[in-house]
Structure 1
Amino acid sequence: MEHIIQSFKNIDTSTISDALDKLGIEGQCLGIRSNSVQWKIAGRAFTVKYGPVDIQKGTVGDFIDDVNPGEVVVIDNQGRLDCTVWGDIMTGVAKRKGVAGTVIDGVSRDTNRSLELDYPVFSANRYMRTGKDRVQVDAVGEAVSIANIRVRQGDIVVGDADGVVVIPKEFEEKVLAVATEIEAAEDQIREATEKGMSLKEARQYFNYHSLQTKGV
């Protein structure tokens, strides 16, 4: 695993979100949630875009053979809640290949199988109806939208119990630096309050109110 990926995996999405806010970057995927609060993922995006099925009936999931170990499958199903694009067969293949996890702007199914295999799936919801003959893969490796957040192949995706954030690859070092700074300040505030300092004093002393403020 890349060092920067491991570093992001060790930081909560809430802290990364604060860093994105401070830098003025939109990267929080509203409404995309984990199917288990125990899961934490971090990896580079492997992007897939779905669209309505063509009259010839297109493919729904063969792209999984091309995903590299450690990558996060990021699927843009245009937020559709009426049919799924990820189920138990995809989960099994992804788990065997060492894929880090899957993020879907849409629904997933066969949730018990992903829990059984401990394969992380983040989606807008869960629904059992198949996407076969309803949707098809229109593009792989192109920019996609996840809850109105642009994700490109190779961007860093981090997910945990609080949701999913996307870090543009051009800003990954800067976001990591700011997130690390915020995390250190919050640790100092926790330690100070545990030793008896008031929360107001601790926040003032460690400049809490500037941590998430853009440009401060």
Structure 2
Amino acid sequence: MDDNEFARRCAALTSAHLADACLRLGVPVRCAPPSVRSMTPGARIAGRALPARHAGSVDVFFEAFGYAAPGDVLVVDNGGRDDEACVGDLAVLEAQAAGVAGVVIWGLHRDTADLLAIGLPVFSTGALPTGPQRLDERHPEALTSAAVGEWTIDRGDLVVGDDDGVLFLPADAAGDLVAPAEAIRDTERHQAERIRGGTTLRSQLRFDDYLAQRERDPSLTFRAHLRALGGAIEE
């Protein structure tokens, strides 16, 4: 699956659908820390990671943009620092000019009003007025990988972000993950419609039957019961 098709199909999926698909297929679920949130409710991103490790100067971003393909997502590693903002309006405008589809920052942003006016999706741990007051030695992998929380992200990864947060997926597994995610989405939508129509989810999932079976076999888990039904609610 190419990056354009992935982005197109992700427009109708959520990060939760894709995370559930990872669980179903045994792919590690790599989420950014929950502190990494969208600046604006409803913002969505889906594209290949464009990593950059910040060391106090925006030059690493400008260099990364030279390698950007349309639809890439800039993933900025600033170590989760809370004493400086590392991305502002000019860097985001330059990202937009380079065809970048969004920015994920393991750290802080600034120039919030200007960023809102620009409209490019930005996910960060928050805002702070001051920029860097340091210039550290450049990381040897400054343009090839970026750490976000416990995960290391590189050009072999895809980035999905929405109101639930940010998820990183291996690009070589995208074709395997999207179809199960779509099936999970469709199952859950059907279940939701039936709840609205008066059929409880407990009834749909035969929860009373599960309780009775668990009485006979205490080792039975709800997930095993769901697998037998194709319920899809937890995985």
TM normalised by structure 1 equals 0.85
Alignment-derived partner of residue 47 in structure 1: 51
In 1, Cα distance between the equivalents of 2:101 and 2:50?
11
1:37 pairs, out of 25, 32, 41, with 41
In 2, Cα distance between the equivalents of 1:21 and 1:84?
34
1:83 aligns with 2:87: no
2:190 pairs, out of 177, 188, 191, with 188
Alpha-carbon distance, 1:22 to partner:
2.7
In 1, Cα distance between the equivalents of 2:59 and 2:91?
13
Alpha-carbon distance, 1:20 to partner:
2.2
Alignment-derived partner of residue 109 in structure 1: 110
Say which SS state the counterpart of residue 30 (structure 2) adopts.
coil
The answer (yes or no) to whether the contact 2:45–2:160 under 8 Å persists in 1 is yes
Percent of pairs identical after alignment? 27
Q: What value does the CA root-mean-square deviation take over the aligned residues?
A: 2.4
Alignment-derived partner of residue 212 in structure 1: 234
Opposite residue 112 of structure 1, the aligned amino acid is A
Say which SS state the counterpart of residue 78 (structure 2) adopts.
strand
The answer (yes or no) to whether the contact 2:54–2:78 under 8 Å persists in 1 is yes
1:179 aligns with 2:181: yes
Alpha-carbon distance, 1:81 to partner:
1.3
Taking a change above 3 Å as real, the CA distance of residues 199 and 50 of structure 1, as seen in their structure-2 partners, is same
Per chain length, whose mean CA-contact separation is higher, i.e. which structure has more relative contact order (CA < 8 Å, sep 6+)? 1
In 2, Cα distance between the equivalents of 1:167 and 1:65?
21
User: Deviations 1:40-80 (Å, cap 9, x if unpaired)?
Assistant: 111101011234x6xxx894532254123211000111111
Alignment-derived partner of residue 73 in structure 2: 72
Alignment-derived partner of residue 31 in structure 2: 28
The answer (yes or no) to whether the contact 1:60–1:132 under 8 Å persists in 2 is no
Alpha-carbon distance, 1:7 to partner:
0.8
TM normalised by structure 2 equals 0.79
User: Deviations 1:153-183 (Å, cap 9, x if unpaired)?
Assistant: 1411011111111111121122212211210
Say which SS state the counterpart of residue 107 (structure 2) adopts.
strand
Alignment-derived partner of residue 218 in structure 2: none
Say which SS state the counterpart of residue 100 (structure 2) adopts.
coil
Please say which of residues 85-94 and 145-154 is displaced more in the overlay. Answer: 145-154
Structure having the larger proportion of residues in strand: 1
Total equivalences in the alignment: 209
Alignment-derived partner of residue 119 in structure 1: 120
